[in-house]
Amino acid sequence: MKNVSTRQLIIFYCIYSFSIKFLMLPSLLAATAGKDAWIAAGVGTVIELAILFVALTVITRQPKLPTILSKAIMFPMLFIFLLQIFILINQAFHLLNDNMFEKVPVHYFSIPMLLLGVFVCLMPTRAIFRSGEIFFIFIILGIALSVFPALTRINPGEVLPILDNGAKPFLKALYLNLIYFESAFFLLMFRNDIKVEKHFRKKFMTVATIVGAFFVFFIFMFYALFGPLAPMKNVAVTNLTIYSSYMTGNGRLDWVLVTMWLLLLLLRFGVTFFCAFMCLRNITGLKKRAGILGAGIAVFVWVVSTFVFSTSRNLNAFIHAIPWLIASLYIAIPVAFFAASLLQKRRRDV
């Protein structure tokens, strides 16, 4: 029985994409590409859509991979999902500490998120995706209230002239931050739980293209608003809440918007943690003991986030030290799934 509908999957793809791209990525792209950060975002979005198309093709065929191949693929996927978990903890940490709380050590801050991750491991797949349906309207409202009030303040002159330093800066920015354009990977983990409905791939690609175009526009708007100061705006979307203050009498809408974005981050964190859990379960072959496996991941993440990636500088330095590995896995993993689906189809046809 297939547990996840096309609608649920598309909604969670939007959540998955929005949550990680609208916070720290704009400043990271701007730090390397400058005013051409939106071009880096555009090229990254095109690559992401191409990878997504491959992933959706795999889902429509829903191959059952040979045990050895499945285990081999799970190791690099586990690495990617763990890296995403560290990024999400780091982004949630900055989101709250920069906007709502005094400095809270990351080794305390990460504990509630990791407990959430362990809890998600005990949930059925359908329940996880239904949570996206429940909260999606609040997320859309948060995005709208964060972005649209700032539209009248845009100064397009900040992004001109285009490519005056050539293509190297934006290509380097994309290469160093390709991990942030990994919104299609999690779909592969649920490939056998999805009900493939009529026009499944067409509907999905249409929504994903709209989401990608909106993100590119957001990067354009972000630099047009802050100019050379953009690289210093660590949590991009929360810096736009200064424009939301015009919508209220006392200017205190910002904490509501931060809460909505935190909800979005937590939803993605839960799914990413669950994906890491499924990778480990596939590698170990343990079909039960979900709580033990989840707790093992949580302890590992807590130790690494406390002693290795306690700051965004350390985490970004690690990511920027291995862009070649991330780029290779980014392409190789979906292609491996696609090749396996072709091989399985050929065997059925013989």
Q: What is the CATH number of the domain that holds 23?
A: 1.20.1730.10
In a domain, 186, yes or no: yes
Backbone φ, ψ for residue 284 (5° rounding): -80, -20
d(CA 165, CA 34): 10
Domain that holds residue 268: 6-349
Comparing CA positions, the residue from 336, 27, 21, 342 lying closest to residue 173 is: 27
Indicate the number of domains in the chain.
1
Tokens representing residue 52 in the block: 């997504």
In a domain, 1, yes or no: no
In a domain, 234, yes or no: yes
CA dist list (Å): 150 to 132, 224, 242: 27, 10, 9
pLDDT of residue 311: 80
SS3 161: coil
pLDDT in tens, 25-69: 888 999 999 899 999 999 999 999 999 999 998 888 766 776 777
In a domain, 261, yes or no: yes
pLDDT in tens, 181-237: 988 888 888 888 888 888 888 999 999 999 999 999 989 988 888 888 888 877 666
Tell me if 315 sits within 8 A of 55, measured CB to CB.
no
Mean pLDDT is lowest, of 110-124, 146-160, 314-328, for 146-160
Tell me if 190 sits within 8 A of 336, measured CB to CB.
no
99 Cβ neighbours under 8 A, 6+ residues apart = 235, 238, 254, 255, 258
Tokens representing residue 147 in the block: 């972005």
In a domain, 240, yes or no: yes
Place of tokens 């709580």: 291
Per-residue pLDDT for 249 more than 60? Answer: no
Tell me if 70 sits within 8 A of 271, measured CB to CB.
no
SS3 194: strand
